[in-house]
Amino acid sequence: MKRLSAIALCLVLAAPAAPAQEGQGDVGEGLDLLSEGTRLLLRGLMGEIEPALRELEGALQDINAYHPPEVLPNGDIIIRRKVPLQVEPELGEDGEVEL
């Protein structure tokens, strides 16, 4: 996937660098078609990866809710929330809290 993206990007960047001249009718048309095809390819790729990018954006916003990981001397790793969750204990039928 990365290789295909890199090739497509190179084609897009190279297409405008070779302007069509009047004496090169077929070559000019070919470059125009190549440029248009590349544009359509990239538009299609962006359409396919857009949902994944939106999901990644949501995950990055979730990451901001946590402090950096801490490694304790015993090897445990703790990842603390910046704002702790307020969890209310569930009360039993007779009002007791079950641990």
> In terms of pLDDT, which residue wins out, 84 or 37?
37
The pTM of the full predicted model, rounded to 2 decimals, is 0.36
Tokens of 76: 């445990």
> In terms of pLDDT, which residue wins out, 67 or 23?
67
**Predicted confidence band at 74 (pLDDT cuts at 50, 70, 90)?**
very high
Rounded-to-integer distance, Cα 5 and Cα 44, Å: 12
Q: What is the dihedral of CA 65, 68, 69, 71, to 10 degrees?
A: -150
Rounded-to-integer distance, Cα 29 and Cα 12, Å: 16
> In terms of pLDDT, which residue wins out, 28 or 96?
28
Residue identified by tokens 């990451």 is: 63
Residue 88's pLDDT is 76
Condensed to tens digits (0 to 9), the pLDDT of residues 30-72 reads: 888 899 999 999 988 888 888 888 888 887 777 888 899 999 9
Mean model confidence pLDDT for the chain: 78
CB atoms within 10 A of CB 38: 19
Domain residue limits, the chain: 2-78
